[in-house]
Amino acid sequence: MSYRSPYADVDIPEVPLPDFVFGRAQQFADKPALIDGPSGRTLTYGQLEAAVNRTAAGLAARAFKKGDVFAIYSPNLPEYAVAFMGVARAGGVNTTVNPLYTAGELKKQLKDSNAKFLVTVPPFVKKAREAAEGTNVREIFVFGEAEGATPFAALAASNGKIPAVEINPREDLVALPYSSGTTGLPKGVMLTHHNLVSNLCQTHSVEQLQETEVLIGILPFYHIYGMVVIMSGALRVGATTVTMPRFDLEQFLELSQKHGVTMAYLVPPIVLALAKHPLVDDYDISKMTDILSGAAPLPAPVAQACVDRHGVLLRQGYGLTETSPVTHANGRDREVRLESVGVALPNTEYRVVDLGTNEDAATDELGEVWIRGPQVMKGYLNNPEATADMIDPNGWLHTGDIGRADVDGYLYVVDRVKELIKYKGLQVAPAELEGVLQSHPAVADVAVIPVPDVEAGEIPKAFVVTKPDAESTEEELMAHVADRVAPHKKVRIVEFIDAIPKVPSGKILRRELRDRERKNRDTAG
């Protein structure tokens, strides 16, 4: 059966994202919109919207046109929103990049997205310049000042006119984050203005954020969760967001206490720290009464420990980059089931489909979760085959996640069909790590799987077959990978093996390796 949201459908306006987000900005003109946690630098709503408009004008003056792509390669800071919304107002497309990417990883995204401009921060300028060589990037901007880049402030200092751009919200892209989907290497996820406006309307009906909220912007804005739910969602209602460039528990607690943070969108490792770390007792975070955890499953014992320690309303939600991102959540106004990711959002329906029969699974029976709604992506950039694999002709997006639905329509995500590893909520593609390891002269064959980790959720483990007469060590191979990928993608364990189990077609039998790993852990533990 198809499960529909218990919430009434919401009206979704046909407007560009910046118009929707800043619809009430003048009402809150003198109120802090974004505060840079480390420095205290503040942008009011009036200052923010003015900077967004100037940025759009500055881009137009540089012949940045509707549909052009602008890359943001930066940690969280208030100017991130200026760049993102300025590009959107100019009719452009934001491709957001993990700030921990290597130059090689950044170059791949710049090439694939066909980015025209790039903005970064001073410590990353050298890496950005290296990555931009051989791409279509015409100019590199920097938040602040650095040799070899144009100050972003110069762009935002334009006195020109805001470009008059006709935007078709249902067709025109506003964001191009990258996701690995169910398998394989990262692909550009084409998200329209309508996709993001839809999800903001949907989540608001469940979250009911108010202008009085103070949020902590710790989840990265390059990630769809931080981009839409935190950055855009808070701006839409007139709330204040305190940004952090990276997670540091002490700073997180200090800023939460200083600014009276009321609401925190988090991932399981941070919830675990709040539940168990002794440092938490040194700070008063009692104003934080509401926490929503997403991006990866939150174990019920961890959730309960956090609730018991802080007396907070703790809820789980669920979604994908391909769904803008939220599809399910435990609402503030409904019964919270700690083990569940909640019910479908308004205007959203879902199915749980038996993998063997492709028929709907019965209540409480496992199957693949399929989603349909206005938040579902337009498709993958320049990859119609991958799009067709993800979205069927009836508009159902096949998530690759295994779950079950209870009699009340609450969804429980329990496993994944897909091969992705989720390290602290961030996606790691086994195929990418296998390719890096195979470039090592001693490696004959390799397979990478996820293994459970209390802190990270999952970590990558590599099973390696070495070439005859070749020698290598676990440390050497892990260092080989670490030098070539972002920190969250590093292989954490290496095990040498005689042969990689495969089907006749050559596909790796990862389940066999996972079963072997589980058996060994059970024996050891």
| CATH code of the domain covering residue 480 | 3.30.300.30
Answer whether residue 415 is part of any domain: no
Strands (E), 231-286: 240-243, 263-266
The model carries a pTM of 0.86
- Structure confidence at residue 503 (pLDDT): 60
Q: For the domain that residue 388 is a member of, what is the CATH number?
A: 3.40.50.12780
Answer whether residue 410 is part of any domain: no
Domain boundary among 343, 377, 403: 403
Cα 502 → chain centroid = 32
Tell me, yes or no, whether 263 and 329 share the same domain. yes
Answer whether residue 398 is part of any domain: yes
Instruction: Pick the closest to residue 410 from 448, 470, 446, 364 (CA basis).
Output: 364
Answer whether residue 411 is part of any domain: no
- Burial (CB < 10 A; 0-12, 13-18, 19+), residue 516, is middle
Domain boundary among 403, 429, 452: 403
Answer whether residue 226 is part of any domain: yes
What domain range includes position 229?
A: 2-7+14-403
The total of other beta-carbon atoms located within 10 Å of residue 443's CB is: 20
Which of the 8 DSSP states describes residue 485?
A: S
* Grouped pLDDT means (10 residues each) for the chain, 525 residues: 94 98 96 98 97 96 96 98 98 96 96 98 98 98 96 86 93 94 81 98 94 97 96 98 95 98 93 92 97 86 92 96 97 92 98 92 94 98 96 96 94 77 84 86 90 92 92 95 94 94 70 88 77
Q: How many CA atoms lie within 13 A of 386 on its CB side?
A: 20
Tell me, yes or no, whether 231 and 258 share the same domain. yes
Give every CB contact of residue 177 below 8 A, 6+ residues apart in sequence.
Answer: 95, 96, 188, 189, 191, 222, 223, 224, 227, 321
**3-state SS class at 73:** strand
Strands 326-329 and 32-36: unpaired
Beta carbons of 3 and 341 less than 8 angstroms apart: no
Answer whether residue 90 is part of any domain: yes
Distances, alpha carbon 477 to alpha carbons 294, 467, 474, 488, in Å: 32, 14, 5, 16
Domain boundary among 345, 376, 403: 403
Tell me, yes or no, whether 259 and 211 share the same domain. yes
Return the amino acid letter for 470. A
Token pair 């954490």 in the structure block, residue: 492
Tell me, yes or no, whether 82 and 174 share the same domain. yes
Tell me, yes or no, whether 398 and 459 share the same domain. no
Answer whether residue 414 is part of any domain: no
Tell me, yes or no, whether 331 and 472 share the same domain. no
Answer whether residue 128 is part of any domain: yes
Tell me, yes or no, whether 399 and 511 share the same domain. no
- Structure confidence at residue 525 (pLDDT): 65
Q: For the chain, what is the domain count?
A: 2
CA gap 49, 21 in Å, rounded? 10
- Structure confidence at residue 3 (pLDDT): 97
Tell me, yes or no, whether 431 and 384 share the same domain. no
Tell me, yes or no, whether 353 and 270 share the same domain. yes
Tell me, yes or no, whether 386 and 425 share the same domain. no
| Residues in the chain, overall count | 525
Tell me, yes or no, whether 458 and 348 share the same domain. no
- Structure confidence at residue 140 (pLDDT): 98
Cα 93 → chain centroid = 17
Token pair 């802190």 in the structure block, residue: 455
Tell me, yes or no, whether 51 and 128 share the same domain. yes
Strands (E), 249-325: 263-266, 290-293, 313-319
